[in-house]
Structure 1
Amino acid sequence: MRITRVLSAALLTLGLAVSPAVADSTPSASPSEESDAPTEAGTSFRTAAEFEQGRTATASASTGDYLYWSFPADAGGRPTVRATVKLPEAAQSSSTWQLDVYDGLRRRQACQYGAQTRTAGAEATSVELSCTLRTVRAWSEQWSDDPLPGTYYIRLTTIRLATADLGLPVGVEVEADSKDIGGSAAVDGSLAQPLVPGIAVTSQQDEDEESSTDAVLSSLEPDDGWASGWWSDRWVWTAIGAVLAALAGIGGYSLTRGAGRPTRVPPPGA
């Protein structure tokens, strides 16, 4: 009976450890579903068009333009950016397009995989590009260029184009999403603030409402807010490991207890 009670208590502890992770994985209504994606692109980092992950931003532009968008990415996610360029029918030669992604410090981030640069022939009607970044970390050393939580910028342009095709109209679709990597990418630390341009101005507005006329360069954040950096599902696996170790110890004790005791005590004088 005592072993049964111990096993019941251990299973109850395991259920309590797993329940927060289950609650976090439950889908919830996203405010971004009610907002419209931008239909224009910016021409610089400061004028980048903001859009939420999971939405598709569109723009009409001309060949040779530099097009900018921005989106928020939080710790523990692996962002992937995709772009589709609808090429003009009047193009007379091939063109090469490139998709670049920058973090909140405007550091160009390397693509883990994906076709970041592609060349389209004169007969092509569209070209597709993609870039999957490394997993966003909650914290890293100052000398490192690891992706950190905050605003990410997308820049799309053509890097090789015939002069005769310069200025022709093109249509662009851009989207971004993230894969949740989980506790395997967790680190023991977090940034004081995400790398969001204008966040210092936002903090000042919170303290002084009279400064509401100041510009805020970025206003988007993840649906459930920026991660605090201390919780991840690795705590669940740590709890599971501790429970399994306790069960193994209890089971080993129950199997080996009394093995060293004599089964029968000989009578005196035997």
Structure 2
Amino acid sequence: MTLSETAYAKINLALHVRRRREDGYHELETLFAFVDDGDRLTASVADRDHLTTHGEFAGKIDDPFDNIVARALTALPHGKGWAVDLDKRLPVAAGLGGGSADAGAVFRMVERGHGLPDDWHAKAAKLGADVPACVLSRPCIGTGTGTDLEEVAENDLAGCPVLLVNPRVPVPTGPVFKAWDGEDRGAMPTGSLREIALAGRNDLEVPAISICPQVADVLAALGRTDPFLARMSGSGATCFALYESREAMLAAAEAIARDHPEYWQMTGALR
């Protein structure tokens, strides 16, 4: 038996930070969406769990034997063992939920091969705040620390062309949240995905730019390609742009590659 999954890149179409909690975390309202591309994982039956990593960003994984994929395998019943191959195509510490997306892919492979336990959501949340949403990999609203999920009834952005751009500067999440000014700028709007995305915001853009000024450069470069929305994802440094047509998105990707060959980019469509 061999199972394969894509760890779909996560983006936050909106991310409203409402308050700092007494436990040190932050109360959030966020709209998760997922791109139809990302890391690639395959798993086959083995005598014991084993993880092999390769790809452009494999060297950025601190400890392949104690990363989130290994911990996801430990958390879930999946037989004697799995040999997992991870093609690390998403940048690390990039606001795309890369590690969480990898863990989500493991959960989906276990679901297909063995079924998930009833408490899968709690197990996923223990691994990271984005992991439950990444298990679903469908548009959903996250509240609390991002682990309380509600799927969106009207997905009017399904198939929307999207361009992801990262300046190849890692931005750890903790310092960005610490740099947030603590001001509650209001609740996330309601409506369809498009309505929420257009009327929403990312409260972490300003603190992220204070730590990584290149985020502002990426947003400016994307803004010049005439998207209907350009915004930073998560805590950065990856930014995304949404377009009305695939042709416009591909033209934007070509322009970014020409003007900023040092940037990482990925093209795709929203799921």
TM interval, shorter chain, is: under 0.3
What TM-score comes out, normalization by structure 1 length? 0.22
Higher helix share: 2
Taking structure 2 as the reference length, the TM-score comes to: 0.22
Rg: which structure is higher? 1
